Chain A
Amino acid sequence: MEESIQKMREAIVNYNEVEASEYARQAIEQGIPPIDILGAMTEAIREVGDKFGKGELWLPDLVGAGSAMQAAMPIVEAAIVESGGSRESQGVIVIGTVFGDIHNIGKDMVATLLTAGGFEVHDLGINIPADQFVEAVTKYNADILAMSALLTTTSAEQRRVIKALEDRGIRPKVRVIVGGGAITSGFAQDIGADGYDPTAPGAVKLAKRLIAN
């Protein structure tokens, strides 16, 4: 394996955002096919995810590696688009914390594990208005929209996003999964979501189940 790829992998598993981006860029400049770079990144994060699953690594390790990978991702994605290629994945997921809510811990954890699970994840961040979710679902042709809300006061925003998807006529095209401290399975059903799971590893299984069906 090229040294730059190896170093990028090391940077991801050592939570180093700057070096992960730097070595990703170096790998592109060296002419390594961007799809192979992405493959190495996914492999690195899967390794972290597996160790987390086995109890060898902990949440701060998982989230740290996740953000190192996310830092390098735009560089690699741009190169893929430029080369006329496209990513292969388990499915495309748009994820974010709803408007009025600035909590990111649970959402970051789910995003990282989804990435480790082979999904193409577009993390919009926190405090995301309904329209921005809808635009991202259309832009990325998402299979799944994943929304987080920690607060009881903001959980109702998830209902608003689902309504916005319905108003634009794209609700049937995308599966909606919800999570966060304020959410229960009853609430998820009530707002018309397709799935809910209280844990991050559970969210990955849920996403895989929804894609398979």
Chain B
Amino acid sequence: MLKGFTRRFPPLDVLSEEQVHSLHRAILDVLRNTGVRFESERALDDLEQIGCSIDREAKRARFPEYLVEEAVRRTPSSHRVRARDLQNDIVLGGDTVYFRNFPGMQTVDLDTWEPRDPTMQEFNDLITVFDALPNLHAISPYPYYGFDGVPPVMRLLEGIAIEIKNTTKVLIQGNTAEADQFHIEMTKVVGGESILAVYGSAPLTWYDDQLRAVYRALDTDWPMYLLQGTTMGATGPATLAGTVAVNYAELFSILVLIQFNKPGTRVHIASDTYPQNMRSGAPGFGRITGALVKAVENQMSRHYGIPRRDSNPGPLNSKKADFQAGYERGMNALTSALTGSNLISMHSAIYGEITAHPVQAILDDDIAGMIGRFLNGVIVNDDTLALELINEVGPIPGNFLNTAHTREWWHREQFIPKAADELTYPEWFNSGKKDCLEYAREKMQGILANHQVSKPLTGSQEEEIGRILKEARDHYRRQEQISDKEWEAYSTVLRQPDYPFI
């Protein structure tokens, strides 16, 4: 049986039908009149051939309505993604809801809350915890941005190798420095597939490196993840409606290219949209405006029948796993699930995209579990109405504790958080006044001591991944993207006795 959750009641709508229609017209208007910049001759040629109007000098494509509507029609409204272990496959779309981690470039010290590069062991540990958590279903391109000693250009690939080794869950992969040409081969070594991410640049631009990645992804027949990100009031309008119009125009422009090149390509879409913090210029993470804009986009995606991922609960403003982190994550994740997101990014991230920690992921897994239970809704039948039992027990002194019905049903109806403090006061005093953070730390130690990945790699698979990594290192050294100084530090990492891919 597949893991994940299904929302068993209608989603929460924040737009009226008329508003959905107005937004749809606005999206088509942006695509038809403003157009989108494609920094690739190949893409412009392809778009021209199918009927877009192309301004070569401005590298801008303008889209007739019928192309956009046809691309939406050609997009599967739900699709299965294969994991290395079949029991971890996911089906994105419709009423399904899954959770994935949100990236953090670095780890964070749980006592000082200061960020630093993780070690290779800490990278391993994060992935092991991800693999063990029951309510985390997919893993992002950058759980951490690689680990200490690895040059920037190899960080994605070294990280992916560890992910492939330490988890059998669905992997989502990026393409920094065109690394996809190598990690696609690495994934093929172990079977399965990964979701290949491509990134637009707001406003309304697709750069050549991303378009090359789109074409490479199309060659694989693997599912794709189309992401763009707008900062409201900076790279997009300050208004919610205008932002959604520009976001969907950007996403649909690439959807046209994809669905006319390979009809039926499995995609899910997302926009990492946040209001701008008008003080610092950074995105305003954790704000409720972000949740509202995602609610609008979730509804629009349901209208179009395109699976959707939401990242708003991921990046927090808080630098600690504290009260602020809890409300920013909890409120944003719940609204995301209720309004129809299929894949919610949140586990492990703390501040922005800067920090992440496995202990935070353990806390987040409880949030995911709580939301999952809520989505599962209410069963109303003879068994659950329990009229016979109510009649049997009657008024006080009757009670329901010592009944077969309670023994059968209580755990099916309740979700029990794994790391929450649920003690009574006397218990709490007697056990050292522990809080959820301490429970999560203990739980992490337990996972790291006991968890085993369901399908360990064979020796020859590890060797083959090692060979592909070496090919990548040689490639980037030839391109002078790894300096001598970086290589020196990197060589030390590769000589560590526990480095697995030699």
Residues of A within 8 A of B (CB): 55, 58-60, 102, 105-106, 109, 151-153, 156, 187, 190, 199-200
Query: What are 13 pairs between A and B in contact, CB < 8 Å?
Result: A58-B278, A59-B276, A59-B281, A60-B233, A60-B278, A102-B205, A105-B231, A105-B235, A151-B201, A152-B152, A153-B177, A199-B280, A200-B280
Residues of B within 8 A of A199 (CB): 280
Residues of A within 8 A of B485 (CB): 190
Residues of A within 8 A of B318 (CB): none
Minimum Cβ distance to chain A for residue B182 (Å): 17
| A55 pairs with B279, CB closer than 8 A | yes
Residues on the A chain within 8 Å of B281, using CB: 59, 105-106, 109, 200
- CA gap between A176 and B177 in the complex, in Å: 26
Which residue in chain B gives the minimum CB-CB distance to A100?
B207
The answer to whether A59 touches B235 (Cβ under 8 A) is: no
With A and B bound together, what is the CA distance between A159 and B152 in angstroms?
Answer: 14
Q: Are A153 and B176 in contact (CB under 8 A)?
A: yes
B437 interface residue (CB < 8 Å to A): no
Interface of B with A (CB < 8 Å)? 152, 176-177, 201, 205, 207, 209, 231, 233-235, 276, 278-281, 481, 483, 485-486
Check if B176 sits within 8 Å of A58, measured CB to CB: no
Which 8 A-B residue pairs are closest in the complex by CB-CB distance? A58-B278, A59-B278, A105-B234, A109-B281, A106-B281, A59-B281, A152-B176, A105-B281
Structural contact, B209 and A59, CB atoms closer than 8 A = no
Question: Which residues on B sit within 8 Å (CB–CB) of A187?
Answer: 152
Check B177–A58 contact: CB distance below 8 A.
no
Bound-complex Cα distance A60 to B232 (A): 12
Min CB gap A196→B, angstroms: 15
Whether the Cβ atoms of B177 and A59 lie closer than 8 Å is: no
Task: Note all chain A residues with C-beta closer than 8 A to B207.
Answer: 153
Residues in chain A near residue B177, CB distance under 8 A: 153
**C-alpha spacing A188/B280, complex, angstroms:** 20
Chain A residues, CB < 8 A from B152: 152, 187
- Report chain A residues within 8 Å CB of B201: 151
A58 touches B209 (CB 8 A): no
Contacts of B234 in A (CB 8 A): 105
Q: Report the minimal beta-carbon distance from A174 to chain B, rounded to whole angstroms.
A: 22
Question: Which of B177, B276, B279, B483 is most buried by chain A, counting CB atoms within 10 A of its CB?
Answer: B279
B235–A58 touching, CB < 8 Å: no
Q: How far is the CB of A80 from chain B (nearest CB, A)?
A: 31
In this complex, what residue of A is CB-closest to B176?
A: A152
If A106-B281, A153-B176 are given as contacts, then 19 extra A-B residue pairs at C-beta distance below 8 Å, sorted by A number, are: A55-B279, A58-B278, A58-B279, A59-B276, A59-B278, A59-B279, A105-B231, A105-B234, A105-B235, A105-B281, A109-B281, A152-B176, A153-B207, A153-B209, A156-B481, A187-B152, A190-B483, A200-B280, A200-B281
Question: In whole angstroms, how far apart are the Cα atoms of A34 and B198 in the complex?
Answer: 51
**A187, B117: Cα distance in complex, Å:** 13
Closest to B480 in A: A156
A106–B233 Cα distance when bound, in Å, is 13
**Shortest Cβ distance from B304 into chain A, in angstroms?**
29
- A153 to B212 CA separation, bound complex (whole angstroms): 14
CA distance A105 to B233 in the complex (A): 10
In Å, the complex CA distance between A50 and B207 comes to 38
Q: In the complex, A86 Cα to B276 Cα: how many Å?
A: 39
In Å, the complex CA distance between A187 and B234 comes to: 26
Docked Cα-Cα span, A151 to B281, in Å, equals 16
Report the minimum CB–CB distance from B94 to chain A (whole Å).
35
Shortest Cβ distance from residue B227 to the other chain A in the assembled complex, whole angstroms: 14
Complex contacts, B481 vs chain A, CB 8 Å: 156
Closest A residue, CB atoms, query B234: A105
CA distance A200 to B282 in the complex (A): 11
Separation of A167 and B231 alpha carbons in the complex (Å): 38
Nearest CB in chain B to that of A184: its residue: B105
Residues of B within 8 A of A105 (CB): 231, 234-235, 281
Return A37 CB to nearest CB of chain B, in Å.
30
Find chain A residues with CB under 8 A from B176 CB.
152-153
Name which residue of chain B comes closest to A151, CB basis. Answer: B201
Nearest CB of A to B214, in Å = 16
In the complex, residue of chain A having the shortest beta-carbon distance to the beta carbon of B277:
A59
- Which among B201, B231, B485 has the greatest number of chain A C-beta atoms within 10 A? B201
Nearest CB of A to B138, in Å: 22
Shortest C-beta distance, A84 to chain B (Å), equals: 39
Chain B residues near A153 (CB-CB < 8 A): 176-177, 207, 209
Nearest-neighbor residue (CB-CB) of B106 within chain A: A184
A54 CB, min distance to chain B CBs, angstroms: 11
Task: Kindly report which residue of chain A lies nearest to residue B155, judged by CB atoms.
Answer: A152
Query: B233 — which chain A residues lie within 8 A by C-beta?
Result: 60
Closest partner residue, chain A, to B37 (CB atom): A102
Chain B residue at minimum C-beta to C-beta distance from A199: B280
Q: How far is the CB of A175 from chain B (nearest CB, A)?
A: 22
Q: Considering the complex, give the chain B residue whose CB is closest to the CB of A181.
A: B282
Chain B nearest Cβ from A212, distance in angstroms: 25
Q: In angstroms, how far is the closest chain B Cβ from the Cβ of A34? A: 32
User: What residue in chain B is nearest A191 (Cβ atoms)?
Assistant: B483
Tell me, rounded to whole Å, the shortest Cβ–Cβ distance linking B422 to chain A. Answer: 40
Q: Which residue of A lies closest to B145 (CB)?
A: A152
| A102 nearest in chain B by CB position | B205
CB distance from A55 to the nearest CB of B (A): 7
Complex Cα gap A109–B282 (Å): 12
**Min distance, Cβ A185 to any Cβ of chain B, angstroms:** 11
Residue of B nearest to A182 (CB): B152
Instruction: For residue A101, give the distance in angstroms from its CB to the closest CB of chain B.
Output: 10
Q: How far is the CB of A76 from chain B (nearest CB, A)?
A: 27
Which residues of chain A come closer than 8 Å to B235, judged between CB atoms?
105
C-alpha spacing A112/B261, complex, angstroms: 46
Complex CA–CA separation, A157 to B276 (angstroms): 26
Closest to B153 in A: A156
Smallest CB separation, A205 vs chain B (Å): 15
Report the minimal beta-carbon distance from B329 to chain A, rounded to whole angstroms.
Answer: 23
Contacts of A55 in B (CB 8 A): 279
